[in-house]
Chain A
């Protein structure tokens, strides 16, 4: 059950913001960089100014096309036996980052992230009980940039069972991802009903778009694949400093892209996304670890649900550069606010430093934090068996419940069994090497990675994927720029 209990916006506020959004979409408009998409929008009734590339969306068009977005779709794993429903009642967690640096698990050094780091990160996410998807969170900086998407997809498919995803980096990358997914799961038709990849389309605030992302959006729509529409508005720099203004603008940005997706292919699954936060006013940079991030994610979940769409929200992010108190406090705060706020896909597990760095320990810690949130939100079961009057009567005053069969029978389901919070008495803790949460999680991570085996797959299938990767590797970076940079 997912009934949001943290609702920053009242029902009246939601309608007020919706009205403001329609006003923004019509009178300010959104800059659409891609000509062919502007033409499609003109055809469905939008007003286009070719000189400024601004598209004005009349309310009638917005309302009509929002209705075409489905409320639900199925996410599948690389293993087709795994699947999750994504709708406005879902609550699942995911990795997500744009990490280019990594805290190495073994050396504890801060290093540039590699293909192996990304793979290990995905393996760890896959091993958790609560995290269901990743987004190629760690950037392999040791392979050519234009091969990252296909290499990451191949590594994921060969090693992981759960779902994955990545950013829509233009025509080539998005097409490659679609083609490789088809190879992996047995044809284009196979990914129509159950989607193993969630692809993020980044939206440029304020009220704009990037050509590469729109190319990606169009390809996703043509393939009927889910698009995670994700602006990262920053209050005070790329959006109004006041949260309500940011929410209204963000809402306009997402709605415009929902309309675009539906205009290209009605029925394209979409997720209403947010990475929005504040700009910290001393430096003008993002503060994803701020309390406002949680407020914004929860508010935008309310907006998403107003349109009966599932919502993805940033959480677990922190500006901390290390596994310290700030890191723990900030990630827990935003995860809890997002979960209580009804966010359906809660992302950014495993990252720190505004998601520009990753740490394997954090994957497991975030899994444990997620499990604590799930426990909190599952509340208290009140019935005869749980009130346990008979047991209270039998134990009586000054008695002890530890030996009771009732205790043994119920403790595992009533109490969250944590692995990484150190609960020892001081002398034991000292004797065992003063291991804190990060160290405990790190030890477990090393074991999981050491024990990992790739999936048992048809070698012919793996070869076909490898051959596709080779084709992409044979392209030059100039080929990539030539295709993507052309207006």
Chain B
């Protein structure tokens, strides 16, 4: 019976049945399943399945974003019960739209997709000064720092961010990736970024590649 609940929970997340995921999670806990088991046997496989559906063109961004929401509803119930070491995020990714720019849809899509792929996200928001990127990076220690810009006029701010890390002698402690419609690989190379994502899904692949996952 317990296994049945695990299957139902997994299916609910894949089917984007957001209303029942909390209920089923609680049911699984009440049936005596521990949080790690629920996480590993329902939640994470569900996200993998959604990933395949997206890759195959059956699921689109709104579906993926909804699945992440369903996952998160469930995860919030499990979090307080998880022991140290039960759950390891694949990595920490810090994201921000650079100074002078307030566009963030792309960044938010990448954030959701990365969460769906098991990464912890620190989102600095928009119009983020270079100094803030540095201060926050020292605080949270992300493996990857992702910068977003939508305007040709704010692209140069990306170089400012990398420069401020270099000036403080910490550039090589982090990997920098960039994304946004006016960008391209050439610009990424010019500013010394570690990678460039042509779209949100490419950004996710890039993060995995840079971390050897």
Interface of A is mostly: loop
Chain A residue at smallest Cβ distance from B186:
A112
Do residues B62 and A281 form an inter-chain contact, with CB atoms below 8 A?
Answer: yes
Interface of B is mostly: loop
Task: Let me know if A145 is at the binding interface, CB within 8 A.
Answer: yes
Do residues A100 and B152 form an inter-chain contact, with CB atoms below 8 A?
Answer: yes
Do residues A282 and B153 form an inter-chain contact, with CB atoms below 8 A?
Answer: no
Task: Let me know if B170 is at the binding interface, CB within 8 A.
Answer: no
Do residues A282 and B152 form an inter-chain contact, with CB atoms below 8 A?
Answer: no
Task: Let me know if A453 is at the binding interface, CB within 8 A.
Answer: no
Do residues B61 and A283 form an inter-chain contact, with CB atoms below 8 A?
Answer: yes
Task: Let me know if B60 is at the binding interface, CB within 8 A.
Answer: yes
Task: Let me know if B57 is at the binding interface, CB within 8 A.
Answer: yes
CB distance from B62 to the nearest CB of A (A): 6
Do residues B200 and A284 form an inter-chain contact, with CB atoms below 8 A?
Answer: yes
How far is A108 from B63 in the complex, measured between Cα atoms in Å? 40
Task: Let me know if B81 is at the binding interface, CB within 8 A.
Answer: no
Chain A residue at smallest Cβ distance from B103:
A204
Do residues A281 and B60 form an inter-chain contact, with CB atoms below 8 A?
Answer: yes
How far is A145 from B109 in the complex, measured between Cα atoms in Å? 30
Q: Name the interface size band of chain B.
A: 10 to 19
Q: Name the interface size band of chain A.
A: 10 to 19
Task: Let me know if A236 is at the binding interface, CB within 8 A.
Answer: yes
How far is A141 from B181 in the complex, measured between Cα atoms in Å? 16
CB distance from A102 to the nearest CB of B (A): 15
A284 contact set on B, CB distance < 8 A: 61, 105-106, 109, 200
Do residues B62 and A145 form an inter-chain contact, with CB atoms below 8 A?
Answer: no
Chain A residue at smallest Cβ distance from B63:
A281
**Residues of chain B in range 153-181 having any CB-CB distance to chain A below 8 Å:** 153, 181
A236 contact set on B, CB distance < 8 A: 62
Q: Which interface residue of B153, B182, B200, B201 has the most chain A CB atoms within 10 A?
A: B153
A-B Cβ contacts below 8 A, count: 30
| B interface list, Cβ under 8 A from A | 57, 60-62, 100, 102, 105-106, 109, 152-153, 181-182, 199-201
CB distance from B63 to the nearest CB of A (A): 9
Do residues B152 and A238 form an inter-chain contact, with CB atoms below 8 A?
Answer: no
B61 contact set on A, CB distance < 8 A: 281-284
Task: Let me know if A285 is at the binding interface, CB within 8 A.
Answer: yes
Task: Let me know if A485 is at the binding interface, CB within 8 A.
Answer: yes
How far is A145 from B152 in the complex, measured between Cα atoms in Å? 9
A141 contact set on B, CB distance < 8 A: 152
A2 contact set on B, CB distance < 8 A: none
Chain B residue at smallest Cβ distance from A485:
B100
B105 contact set on A, CB distance < 8 A: 237-238, 284
User: Known contacts A237-B105, A283-B201, A284-B106; can you find 4 more A-B pairs with CB under 8 A?
Assistant: A139-B152, A210-B102, A285-B199, A485-B100
**Residues of chain A in range 272-294 having any CB-CB distance to chain B below 8 Å:** 281-285
How far is A446 from B165 in the complex, measured between Cα atoms in Å? 49
Do residues A283 and B153 form an inter-chain contact, with CB atoms below 8 A?
Answer: no
**Residues of chain A in range 87-140 having any CB-CB distance to chain B below 8 Å:** 100, 139
B199 contact set on A, CB distance < 8 A: 283, 285
Contact check: which of B57, B181, B182 meets A282 at CB < 8 Å? B57
A100 contact set on B, CB distance < 8 A: 152, 182
A–B Cβ pairs within 8 angstroms, 26 of them: A100-B152, A100-B182, A139-B152, A141-B152, A145-B152, A145-B153, A210-B102, A236-B62, A237-B105, A238-B105, A241-B62, A281-B60, A281-B61, A281-B62, A282-B57, A282-B60, A282-B61, A283-B61, A283-B199, A283-B200, A284-B61, A284-B106, A285-B181, A285-B199, A356-B181, A485-B100
B182 contact set on A, CB distance < 8 A: 100
